[in-house]
Structure 1
Amino acid sequence: MEVLHTAIAIVLAIGLIIWVKVDPVISLIIASLYLGLAAGVGFADTVEAITIGFGDIMAKVGLLIGFGVAIGALLHSMGAFRKLVHALLRVFGPRRLPYALATALSTIFPSIYVDVQVVLAAPIARTSAPHVGRRGLALLSGAIGTGIFAGYVFVVPGLAAVSIASLLEIQLGQYLLFGIFLGPLTAVATTLLFALLLRTRYWNPETDEEPEAREAEEGPTQDDPEAVDAGLPLVVLLLPILVPLVLIAFGAVADVAGFSNAVIAFLGNATIALFIGLLGAYGLSRWRSGSHLTDEALSNGFKTTGEILLITGIGGSLGEVISATGMDKTLGDLFSADAGAPVVITILLAWFIAAVLHLAIGSVSVAAIAAAGIIGPVVGSTGVAPVAVGLAIASGAMFALQVNSNFFWMFKSLLNLTTSGALKTMTMVTSIASLVSLPPVIVLALVL
């Protein structure tokens, strides 16, 4: 019965979010309460599971998310990401810009939240599109979409990547070592396949693109990021991101190679590494922008962090209630390699659960967190490397981002696309990316 009640709870959450337009936090709490009470967990134990689930995920990812978003907010206030995109345009030219954007978004940008990424990248796509060709806007939109979410799920400190690794108890350094290759590989391969698709009659600018809106031309002001960061080299602006990534990766390599020590482990700890990055971003911002703009940027970052942490924590609560129903035992039987499930089937099931949750809920992060929360308690019994299962969840969680996602409508508006155009770009590239990334994950699972 726990399977039936879990399905009802998920459908309930979906219905409340999509049809009744209830906030996802409230919807997920209602679904968690229903599941706990209907499945016989009990009043007190249901409340305990909700609070424990929330607290556990906050203990694992709370500081990481807070530091990562704060770094992104400070660098955004200094124009770092905008400057990076302009540098890519100068170096690679408009023809190669889609691949450069996809690579940059999937490797360097994951420290900043997805909404801000698309806000930064969309104006570059719109202004560069005529130079790329008749279908330039479609190709650049697809590159932005796949780059953002490939980084989001595969590359630390992307929110989904950090959450999956934490819930499955995968060392962030290990996840990073695999994800830093899989993320850009997925983004570039997807962009290439999408470019081939656009050579057909798939895209119709007359029906898939909105008439271009007039954009006011304004000179730089004190708050303009381009005015603020004019004197700093790009490499210096990106140090608050690059240094933590190097520290985390070096700590993981040192641990695997056997030459780690207390100092290396301390500096390679993801929380410490990101805090070092935050100190660097804060120092740069104080030096270049002054205390007022720095405090304003940090305050905005902390406000965003609160919203992200709440939905992340509630996603963890639902996973804990599902576990409390005994669903973990049911899934353990399903996923157990000892019960005859081969490695490939285990990976496909993990991918499938995450993909269905994303189609249902409309949030990549919530789908990833919920799937990891469901699978986490039994991953040890599968006989499959946890990092491979985590990457399979990440791959599935990208599948077919569409109309039940707030990001979808933001993406549509910022890139001047019609609804059909947004479906043909964002929904298509996330579907392709999800499928393209699955075979490498299967190979990894067979090798590890």
Structure 2
Amino acid sequence: MSFIIVLSGIVLLVLLITLLRLNAFLAFLIVSILMGLVKHMTVTAVVGSIQKGIGDILGSLVILIGLGAMLGKLIADSGAAVRISTALTNLFGKKYLQWAMVLTAFIVGIPLFYGVGFVLLVPLVITVTSRYNIPAVYIGLPTLAALSVTHGYLPPHPSPVALIQQFHAQIGMTLLYGLCIAIPAIILAGPVFSITLKKYTAKPLATFAAKEIPESELPGTFTSFMAAFLPVVLIALHAVLQITTPATSKFYPILHSIDDGAMAVIAMLISVLTAAYTLGVKRGKKMEAVMGTLSESVKDVVLILLIIGGAGALKQVLTDSGLNNAIVDQLQNMHVHPLLLAWSISAIIRVCIGSATIAGVTTAGIVAPLIATTGVNPNLMVLATGAGSLMFSHVNDPGFWMFKEYFNLTFKDTLKTWSIMETIVSVVGLVGVFVINSFL
């Protein structure tokens, strides 16, 4: 009975978002209230669970997501992403232009939110391919594969960070495992899959071509790369030092006194302050203008925060109503590996709803208790869920339509390119998770 209640709740969530076009946050609240009432919770108890769920999940995420938005905005507005793209294109040359753009997307995709990265990088792709007379899809799709992987797999992106919090995983180890999986996923869904893409010769609309930015107005190459990479370097360095530093070292207690959550906040704060100076103040911008950029960036994440908060509310109602325990019992009786189960549920929700973020955080609320009962690695659960959340993007995903319109493709060709690329990213991610799991 409990399993039917949860399944009905997920179906209702899908219908509210897809058919009624209801805001995802409102849909989460409605479903949370109904599921609590069905389990005979009082209205006061249900509202209390919702408030606790939203507070618990956002309490540790607001800082990270807010700082991530600020860093991404600084990199985008300063021209640092353009500088990175230009530097790599000049380094690789026309012959390896595809790899240059893929690497650009991977680097700038780590701090940039997906939507920002898309509208920033695609015009660059269109401009570069027009200059060299290369099919835009041949370069563009691998570029977006790299951007998609960073969005689904790697912190400090909102969905992976939210999953880390819900699964009680380690941000450093998740990042290291994620990088190991991200590289083959990008290669297979990007350059390897692109072998089939040269026949798509549709000309993208000239409207979407990037405006040329004068060389003198771009930040330096080293400064641009440092701004994009610094949070990853700091988080990964902390994780590596924790593993490699001997217990007899005087630095051992210091390193282990800083947990993953604290390190992530410190790393992001240092990165934002560094970028604000190197990409702003140092280049002659007034402090008021730099702070204005940071304030503007917050608008990009408000809806994301509300969606994650709504998922946290649903998760808390499932816990307080006792539905979570019943779900765990049902799922364990299915005799399916927890990693495959997390991927499958996330993939199904993704295909139904279209949002990778909603798919990931909703799945976490359902399967998180399995970690305690099965002993599965929580870092790999984050990655399995994230990989599932990227599965088969189609008509209910805004990214599908953005790709179609920017590259001027038919509906059928968009399915054969964009949707297949996202599917490859998702499946390779699942395989990578199981490969790493076999060594742990």
> TM-score when scaled to structure 1?
0.88
C-alpha separation in 2, matches of 1:218 and 1:114? 21
Partner of 2:20: 20
Alignment of 1:293-308 (within 5 A): 293-308=289-304
1:258-312, Cα deviation, whole Å (9 max, x unpaired):
5433267549711111111111111121222323431331121122132221122
C-alpha separation in 2, matches of 1:247 and 1:293? 27
Partner of 1:431: 423
> Root-mean-square deviation (CA), in Å?
2.6
Tell me whether 274-283 or 141-150 shows the greater mean CA deviation.
141-150
C-alpha separation in 1, matches of 2:102 and 2:166? 27
Is 1:50 equivalent to 2:37 in the alignment? no
CA shift at 1:41, angstroms?
3.2
From the superposition, tell whether residues 215 and 182 of structure 1 become closer, same or farther in structure 2 (CA, over 3 Å). closer
The answer to whether the Cα contact below 8 Å between 1:240 and 1:280 also exists between their aligned partners in 2 is: yes
The answer to whether the Cα contact below 8 Å between 2:153 and 2:182 also exists between their aligned partners in 1 is: yes
CA shift at 1:401, angstroms?
1.6
Tell me whether 62-71 or 262-271 shows the greater mean CA deviation.
262-271
Is 1:413 equivalent to 2:399 in the alignment? no
Query: What secondary structure, in the 3-state scheme, does the structure 2 residue paired with 1:177 have?
Result: helix
C-alpha separation in 2, matches of 1:408 and 1:189? 20
Partner of 1:394: 386
Alignment of 1:272-351 (within 5 A): 272-284=266-278, 285-288=280-283, 289-336=285-332, 341=335, 345-351=337-343
Tell me whether 156-165 or 362-371 shows the greater mean CA deviation.
156-165
C-alpha separation in 1, matches of 2:348 and 2:195? 27
Partner of 2:117: 117
Matched residues, percent identical? 27
> TM-score when scaled to structure 2?
0.89
From the superposition, tell whether residues 87 and 381 of structure 1 become closer, same or farther in structure 2 (CA, over 3 Å). same
Partner of 1:241: 228
Question: Structure 2: which 5+ runs fail to align?
Answer: 247-251
C-alpha separation in 2, matches of 1:286 and 1:272? 21
The answer to whether the Cα contact below 8 Å between 1:103 and 1:187 also exists between their aligned partners in 2 is: no
Alignment of 1:247-266 (within 5 A): 247-259=234-246, 260-262=252-254, 265-266=257-258
From the superposition, tell whether residues 107 and 445 of structure 1 become closer, same or farther in structure 2 (CA, over 3 Å). farther
C-alpha separation in 1, matches of 2:334 and 2:26? 39
From the superposition, tell whether residues 204 and 190 of structure 1 become closer, same or farther in structure 2 (CA, over 3 Å). closer
Alignment of 1:20-419 (within 5 A): 20-130=20-130, 136-198=135-197, 204-205=200-201, 209=202, 212-214=205-207, 228-229=217-218, 232-259=219-246, 260-262=252-254, 265-266=257-258, 269-284=263-278, 285-288=280-283, 289-336=285-332, 341=335, 345-419=337-411
C-alpha separation in 1, matches of 2:82 and 2:64? 24
From the superposition, tell whether residues 267 and 35 of structure 1 become closer, same or farther in structure 2 (CA, over 3 Å). closer
C-alpha separation in 1, matches of 2:211 and 2:163? 42
Query: What secondary structure, in the 3-state scheme, does the structure 2 residue paired with 1:111 have?
Result: coil
1:229-263, Cα deviation, whole Å (9 max, x unpaired):
2xx32221232332322221122122223543326
Amino acid at match of 1:197: T
Tell me whether 307-316 or 38-47 shows the greater mean CA deviation.
38-47
C-alpha separation in 1, matches of 2:212 and 2:195? 39
Amino acid at match of 2:275: A
Amino acid at match of 1:307: L
C-alpha separation in 1, matches of 2:211 and 2:170? 47
From the superposition, tell whether residues 44 and 183 of structure 1 become closer, same or farther in structure 2 (CA, over 3 Å). same
Amino acid at match of 2:123: P
Query: What secondary structure, in the 3-state scheme, does the structure 1 residue paired with 2:338 have?
Result: helix
Question: Structure 1: which 5+ runs fail to align?
Answer: none
CA shift at 1:432, angstroms?
0.9
C-alpha separation in 2, matches of 1:331 and 1:437? 25
From the superposition, tell whether residues 264 and 243 of structure 1 become closer, same or farther in structure 2 (CA, over 3 Å). farther
CA shift at 1:218, angstroms?
6.4
